[in-house]
Chains A and B, each alone.
Chain A
Amino acid sequence: MLEINGISKSFGGLRAVDNVSMKISEGSLVSLIGPNGAGKTTLFALITGFHKPDSGTVTFAGNDILGVKPSEIARAGMVRTFQIVQPFAGQTVRENIAVGAHLRHASRRDALDRAREVAEMVGLGDRLDQDAADLTVAGRKRLEVARALATDPKLVLFDEVLAGLNPSEIRDVIPVIRAVRDSGVTILLIEHVMQAVMSLSEYTFVLNQGRLIAEGEPRAVAADQAVIEAYLGPGMAARLKGQSAQVPA
């Protein structure tokens, strides 16, 4: 479905993404983890056309999408959400979602109907006419998810949709993400909430300082020495190793 080959991007002297290659097959739910500043969000921006990579190739559904405009990439079926939520403030929840729905529905009525369906799916069904600016953080995260889903994507990139939520909200949103996957949408998610990474994803990529340092099944990756060092520093990792490897929180 999505194939990234040797993609790199520098900002000034900083190599934000360094020679990263990934392959995501159709119907899978894959996560991308890594410490703050590892380059995860930059990688998303490169894949979806918001930034142009310095080198490398990106192929989506068999087509080379390097240098293609974000709007065209969304039309082709790949959408992203934003880590810092970006609601259309001053518009209602339903109007917000309808913007996404309009990608596949020209008529206003169809788009608004589709918006209602998607809102119900993510648990915003009772807030349709509320101003998006008045939503709680959890509500805004759901709105990000809903808008992306309303475009009927083949592949959706979720950028930390669980960050800033409390444990019970996380428990509410996880089934939503799972339902999305079960409806046939391929998912790549950036996530810091390990509970979600462990319970949701089948495969995990770990990014650190712009480079992929590990990939594989989430449990195996979490026990990987390089990953533990990246998160906790070498000293702490060594101490942990003495106690038998544990999953970093």
Chain B
Amino acid sequence: MVNTRQLAALLVIFGLIATCPFWIVSPSALNTVIAILYITLLGQAWNILGGYGGQFSFGHAAFFGTGAYTVAVLQIQFGTNPWLGMIAGGLLAMGVALFVGFASFRYGLRGSYFALVTLAFAEVLRILSNSVGFTGGGVGILIPLERNLANMQFADNRGYFWLIWTLCLVCFLTVWWIGRSRFGAWLMAVRDNEDAARALGVDVFRTKMGAVALSGFFSGLAGVFYAQFYLYLDPLIAYGAAISIESLLVPIIGGMGTLFGPLIGAAVIHTLSEVTRHNIGDVPGVALAIYGVLLIVIVMFLPRGLISIFSVAGRVLSRWRPANA
């Protein structure tokens, strides 16, 4: 009842993922795993606010980009160590999230209004980062190559693997905790019926603020990882709509409000986009078209996401099992 089995499943899954660097020899294959984990982190961050809290953000790039720019700008302008920059990036993203949350939740904006406000914030930040000097403007920002652990740059991509694996694990443990805590119970109550929650003593505003803070923090960490992995940022990468869309598609396709939904969603989406890129080539927009089709199919046939396949399969199997088995 208190989700101990879920914790066990979580540790087993992360244990299995941890074996990847030992049997995957090809660096490009390991890069695929890294990319999946990074998208998982992005999706899980969105899932905290959108899946568990029911507040659909269309602008998670605002938090992602803030994390990414923080670590990059601190390194280049102030020579700050990226490990410190990672904490700063997470916290600053959290600050932006709290600001966006305050501006929306204080005035009771929900549903499509909240989505529009988040979208607007991400766009404003994109335009700002395009026009101010210290972000490198439209030219972007290049983090100088200096491969060593202290610098959070790894010559061997196994280093990046362990970094993103750890960040993901922390994020998943947080979400697991949400599923078995008072905060989580209140958050899901707010998602399912705000008035009823309020009547039972739930402080709706504070609960949403807590969720947006956590969500923003982990989005920021995903941004930090992106910056350190690709070592290049520009306003469109950091604050563009693509990140916002990816953040929400992953949990929606995998299963919103579930612990493992984002992992499944990320694996499926990324594999699919890799496969299409190899087979169809780089025709612009094909990946997006496939996202669209996939989304429509899943919303039509599996409205609770791919993860619901398991419970459907479980029901079918239990029907096939002989009676009294």
Residues of A within 8 A of B (CB): 48, 50, 69-72, 74-75, 79-82, 86-91, 95, 98-100, 102-103, 105-109, 111-112, 147-148, 150-151
Give the residues from 187 to 203 in chain B that come closer than 8 angstroms, CB to CB, to chain A.
Answer: 188-189, 192-193, 195-203
A88 touches which of B1, B180, B193 (Cβ 8 Å): B193
The chain B residue with its CB closest to the CB of A132 is B192
B321 within 8 A of partner (CB): no
The B interface, classified by DSSP as helix, strand, loop or mixed, is helix
Please list 27 pairs of residues, one from A and one from B, whose beta carbons are closer than 8 Å in the complex, sorted by A's number. A48-B199, A50-B198, A50-B199, A71-B198, A71-B201, A74-B199, A74-B200, A75-B201, A79-B200, A86-B195, A87-B193, A88-B192, A88-B193, A88-B196, A88-B197, A89-B192, A90-B192, A99-B202, A103-B200, A106-B182, A108-B182, A108-B185, A109-B1, A147-B200, A148-B199, A151-B200, A151-B201
Give, as a whole number of angstroms, the nearest-CB distance from B92 to chain A: 30
Task: Name the A residues within 8 Å of B195 (CB-CB).
Answer: 50, 82, 86
Beta-carbon contact of A99 and B185 below 8 Å? yes
Give the residues from 294 to 311 in chain B that come closer than 8 angstroms, CB to CB, to chain A.
Answer: none
A86–B188 Cα distance when bound, in Å, is 14
A150–B182 Cα distance when bound, in Å, is 14
Give the total number of A-B pairs whose CB atoms are below 8 A apart: 80
Task: Name the A residues within 8 Å of B189 (CB-CB).
Answer: 88, 99
Beta-carbon contact of A74 and B201 below 8 Å? yes
Give, as a whole number of angstroms, the nearest-CB distance from B55 to chain A: 16
B182 touches which of A69, A79, A111 (Cβ 8 Å): A111
Beta-carbon contact of B188 and A108 below 8 Å? no
A72–B203 Cα distance when bound, in Å, is 8
Task: Name the B residues within 8 Å of A69 (CB-CB).
Answer: 198, 203
Residues of B within 8 A of A (CB): 1-2, 180-182, 185-186, 188-189, 192-193, 195-204
Of A74, A112, A147, most B-chain CB atoms within 10 Å: A74
Beta-carbon contact of B202 and A71 below 8 Å? yes
Task: Name the B residues within 8 Å of A147 (CB-CB).
Answer: 196, 200
Task: Name the A residues within 8 Å of B200 (CB-CB).
Answer: 74, 79, 99-100, 103, 147-148, 150-151
Beta-carbon contact of B192 and A103 below 8 Å? no
Task: Name the B residues within 8 Å of A50 (CB-CB).
Answer: 195, 198-199
A98–B189 Cα distance when bound, in Å, is 10
Give, as a whole number of angstroms, the nearest-CB distance from B142 to chain A: 47
A80–B195 Cα distance when bound, in Å, is 11
A204–B174 Cα distance when bound, in Å, is 51
Task: Name the A residues within 8 Å of B181 (CB-CB).
Answer: 108
Beta-carbon contact of A70 and B199 below 8 Å? yes
Beta-carbon contact of A86 and B196 below 8 Å? yes
Task: Name the A residues within 8 Å of B1 (CB-CB).
Answer: 109, 112
Q: Contacts A88-B192, A91-B192, A98-B185: A108 and B198 contacting too (C-beta < 8 A)?
A: no
Beta-carbon contact of A108 and B2 below 8 Å? yes
Known: A74-B198, A79-B199, A98-B185. 13 other contacts (CB 8 A): A81-B199, A88-B188, A88-B189, A88-B192, A95-B188, A99-B186, A100-B201, A102-B185, A103-B200, A109-B2, A111-B185, A112-B1, A148-B199
A182–B223 Cα distance when bound, in Å, is 58
Beta-carbon contact of B196 and A108 below 8 Å? no
A81–B186 Cα distance when bound, in Å, is 17
A151–B196 Cα distance when bound, in Å, is 13
Task: Name the B residues within 8 Å of A72 (CB-CB).
Answer: 203
A90–B198 Cα distance when bound, in Å, is 18
Beta-carbon contact of B180 and A79 below 8 Å? no
Task: Name the A residues within 8 Å of B196 (CB-CB).
Answer: 82, 86-88, 147
The chain A residue with its CB closest to the CB of B182 is A102
Q: Contacts A71-B198, A74-B200, A74-B201: A108 and B180 contacting too (C-beta < 8 A)?
A: yes
A100–B186 Cα distance when bound, in Å, is 9
A77–B202 Cα distance when bound, in Å, is 13
Task: Name the B residues within 8 Å of A98 (CB-CB).
Answer: 185
Task: Name the A residues within 8 Å of B201 (CB-CB).
Answer: 71, 74-75, 79, 100, 103, 151
The chain A residue with its CB closest to the CB of B198 is A70
Give, as a whole number of angstroms, the nearest-CB distance from B206 to chain A: 9
Of A72, A81, A100, most B-chain CB atoms within 10 Å: A100
Give, as a whole number of angstroms, the nearest-CB distance from B47 to chain A: 16
Task: Name the B residues within 8 Å of A87 (CB-CB).
Answer: 193, 196
A109–B180 Cα distance when bound, in Å, is 9
A75–B201 Cα distance when bound, in Å, is 6
Beta-carbon contact of B198 and A95 below 8 Å? no
Give, as a whole number of angstroms, the nearest-CB distance from A226 to chain B: 32
A69–B193 Cα distance when bound, in Å, is 17
